[in-house]
Every structure is written in C-alpha cells, then in structure tokens.
C-alpha cells in the first residue's frame, strides 16, 4: 500500500471564486461526480459556502506549500513499507471552518477526524485536517500530515477503535514515529492520568473519550461531562508512553 497525494487546494480556491449561488452544486460535483452516489474526491471537510476567513486560510495553506510538504512527507512514509496491501490511499488536505462554518466545532471535528475514520478507510481516503482557527506554519503542516498517515496505517493494521484502550494504543503508535514529541506534564500528573486510564480503559463513553484526549475545557465547550483532566491529556500521555518501554507493563495494561 502506498499513499498518493491528490491536489485539491487549487480546485477549492477556484470553487470559492465562484458566485455564492453556484458554489454548492459545483462542490457536490467535485465531491460525488455526475452519479452523486458516493464520494469520489475526499473534500467533505471543506465548507462550500465559506466566507473570507476560510478563503484567507486556504490561501495561507497554498502559500506555505502545504501540498508540496504533504507530498514530501508521503514519500518518506511510503519508503518505510509499513503496509503490504496492493492498493493506493488517496491523501487530500481538508480545511474545516470552525469559526464561521455551521456544525464545525473544533474539538468535535478534531475528535472525529482523529478517531472515527472508518468511512474514509473503506474508500481508501486519508484527509489530514486543518482548521481556520489555527495559526499555521510549515512545521505544523508537516507534523499534522505525519500524524494522519500513521493513524491511517494503524487503522489498517488494527481495525476500528472502540474503547479508550484502543484510542490510546493508536496514539502511542503515532507518537512512536514522532521524534520531536515532547511531554509537557509533571510525573505526578502523568500518574494521575494513568490511574484514570486504568480505571476506564474499557469505556466506550463518548464524553469520557473526548475528555481524556482534550480535557475539561473542551468538554465544557460542548456541554459534555468533565473528569478533571488537563488539555490534551491523552495525547501527552501517549507521547510519554511511546518513550517508556521499560514501564509498558505498568501503563496500558
């Protein structure tokens, strides 16, 4: 299996230059073609009725050479030969408007794009996502692309995620390839997160899963239950665990 970049940013820029009344029909044509029976171009994250802020952020991605960075990253990961299946995975950068786009809350869409990719997997699509609220640069783009490709590889190898344990194992797998990951929590906080993980590792509760990875402020913004966890706790915990081979029996048991 190899990843293959599908350039879409210039097509979306052309879409945004159309009169607003013509955009949605053209967007559907790009997304589903003439048959309109299934997705043929993985651009579902884009808002076809985007306002100026999304246009500006799209131009920022283009100016930074986001697709060129993605193509370079894809070549490096393809060379690792981590998958043996004989089909290609089409990779398309998506921009989600979480500032002025309807139903595009940052934490909700981030959670879905990281942990709920079954429908994309069936279609051999991988869609690294960026948000209009982000301050983008080349490093963020490169790391983001890597994260999404390694999550896709894990999904192919292990199947869909169900429990907190599945979610954490995915992120440990991803973090193990990210050399520049840095843990930013005290050991006492990591121990507290680990105790929470051990207690709830078999949970499938959406509120708990989202809270574990994004923290109480994220849960509060979605009117969900909080569990006293700091921002990005699960991701930081996974980064830590990816470096702790000797302690692997204590954590993630």
Q: What confidence score (pLDDT) does residue 34 get?
A: 86
**Same domain flag for 46 and 120:** yes
pLDDT of residue 203: 98
Same-domain pairing of 31 and 153: yes
Summarised one tens digit per residue, pLDDT across range 89-147 is 999 999 999 998 877 999 999 999 999 999 999 999 999 999 999 999 999 999 999 99
Does one domain contain both 186 and 74? no
Read out DSSP for 54-113? Answer: HHHHHHHHHHTTHHHHHHHHHHHHHTT-----S-EEEE--EEE-TTTSTT--HHHHHHHH
Whole-number pLDDT of residue 188: 87
The answer to whether residues 124 and 221 belong to one domain is: no
| Tens-digit pLDDT profile for residues 179-205 | 665 667 788 888 999 999 999 999 999
Give the residue from 182, 177, 151, 181 showing the smallest Cα distance to 166.
Answer: 151
pLDDT for the residue 243? 84
Higher pLDDT, 34 or 41: 41
For residue 252, being part of any structural domain is answered with no
Q: Which pair of tokens denotes residue 253?
A: 């048991």
**DSSP letter for each residue of the chain:** -EEEE---HHHHHHHHTS-HHHHHHHHHHHHHTTT-SS-SS--TTS-TT--HHHHHHHHHHHHTTHHHHHHHHHHHHHTT-----S-EEEE--EEE-TTTSTT--HHHHHHHHHH--HHHHHTTEE--EEETTS---HHHHHHHHHHHHHHHHHHHHH----SHHHHHHHHHHHHTT-TT----S-HHHHHHHHHHHHHHTT---HHHHHHHHH-HHHHHHTT----SPPTTHHHHHHHHHTT-GGGTTTS--
Q: Would residue 146 count as lying in a domain? A: yes
Q: Same structural domain for residues 85 and 185?
A: no
For 65-89, what is each residue's pLDDT tens digit?
Answer: 999 999 999 999 999 988 776 778 9
Same domain, 98 and 147: yes
What six digits make up the tokens of 162?
């169900």
pLDDT tens-digit map of 167-182: 999 999 999 998 665 6
Does pLDDT of 211 surpass 90? yes
The answer on pLDDT for 5 being more than 60 is yes
Do 132 and 199 fall within a single domain? Answer: no
Q: State the average pLDDT over residues 48-53.
A: 94
Contact 203, 161 (CB under 8 A): no
Instruction: Examine the domain organization and report whether 61 and 173 are in the same domain.
Output: no
- Tens of pLDDT, residues 13-25: 999 999 999 999 9
Average confidence score pLDDT of the chain: 92
Dihedral over alpha carbons 211, 215, 216, 218 (to 10 degrees)? -90
Nearest alpha-carbon partner for 66 in 170, 136, 147:
136
Evaluate if residue 223 carries a pLDDT over 70. yes
Question: Domain range holding 225?
Answer: 164-247
Do 210 and 102 belong to one domain?
A: no
Residue 213 has pLDDT above 80, yes or no: yes
Instruction: Indicate if 41 and 71 belong to the same structural domain.
Output: yes
**Per-residue pLDDT band at 250 (split at 50, 70, 90):** very low
Q: Which residue, 104, 133, 158, sits at the end of a domain?
A: 158
- The answer to whether residue 253 scores a pLDDT higher than 90 is no
Contact 212, 197 (CB under 8 A): yes
How many domains does the chain fold into?
A: 2
Question: What pLDDT band is residue 229 in, cutting at 50, 70 and 90?
Answer: very high
């Amino acid at each position: 299996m190899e990843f293959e970049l599908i350039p879409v940013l210039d097509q979306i820029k052309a879409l945004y230059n159309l009169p607003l009344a013509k955009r949605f029909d053209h967007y559907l044509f790009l997304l589903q073609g003439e048959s309109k029976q299934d997705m043929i171009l993985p651009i579902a994250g884009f808002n076809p009725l985007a306002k100026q802020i999304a246009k500006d952020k799209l131009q920022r991605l283009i100016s930074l050479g986001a697709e060129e960075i993605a193509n370079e990253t894809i070549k490096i990961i393809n060379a690792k030969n981590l998958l043996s299946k004989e089909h290609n995975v089409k990779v398309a950068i998506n921009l989600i408007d979480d500032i002025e786009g309807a139903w595009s809350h940052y934490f909700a869409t981030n959670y879905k794009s990281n942990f709920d990719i079954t429908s994309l997997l069936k279609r051999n699509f991988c869609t690294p996502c960026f948000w209009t609220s982000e301050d983008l640069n080349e490093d963020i783009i490169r790391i983001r692309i890597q994260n999404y490709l390694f999550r896709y590889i894990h999904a192919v190898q292990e199947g869909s995620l169900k429990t907190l344990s599945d979610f954490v194992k995915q992120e440990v797998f991803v973090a193990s390839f990210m050399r520049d990951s840095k843990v930013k929590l005290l050991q006492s906080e990591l121990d507290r997160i680990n105790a929470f993980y051990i207690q709830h590792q078999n949970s499938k509760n959406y509120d708990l899963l989202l809270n574990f990875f994004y923290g109480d402020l994220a849960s509060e913004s979605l009117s969900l239950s909080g569990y006293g966890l700091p921002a990005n706790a699960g991701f930081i915990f996974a980064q830590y665990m990816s470096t702790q081979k000797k302690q692997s029996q204590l954590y993630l048991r």
